[in-house]
Amino acid sequence: MSKAKDYTGGCACGAIRFETSSEPVFENHCQCVHCQKRSGTGHGSYLTFPQRADVTVIGEAKTWRVTADSGNEKIHAFCPTCGTPVYLTFAAMPDLIVIHAASLDDPGQFNPQVVTYGICGHVWDTIDSSLQKFERMPG
């Protein structure tokens, strides 16, 4: 039986680190307005893991909360030292944890499947046109 590949990463200054050997259940680029503002770019890129308990996080993150377009609360975690966004969770789905793709030690592990909230995308933020694009989050 082969071992799953490990996903490791953390913030820019190294104060927060994460690690998991579980596999993501969803990988996406999100063009919603919240992701644009938080990233300072046209989108955010994420890997969603099904069991928060399977992801080890070392270091103390600060959090802030925002209400998503769905009406659900998202909890964003970032490094209090360098400000790097590292992961997010959802009040309505506490088992999920979402890792920012660029926070991976090997961002090449990110394999985006879709673009979400394409309705909010900007023409200057071109993303792989072969990816399926949803106006909002697919149901």
In sequence order, which ranges of the chain are alpha helices (DSSP H)? 33-39
Neighbour count for residue 29 (Cβ, 10 Å): 25
pTM of the model: 0.88
Per-residue model confidence as pLDDT tens digits over 63-81: 999 887 778 899 999 999 9
Domains of the chain, CATH where assigned: 7-133 (3.90.1590.10)
Total length of the chain: 139
Give residue 139's pLDDT: 64
Count H helices, E strands: the chain?
1, 11
Per-residue model confidence as pLDDT tens digits over 98-132: 999 999 999 999 999 999 888 888 999 989 889 88
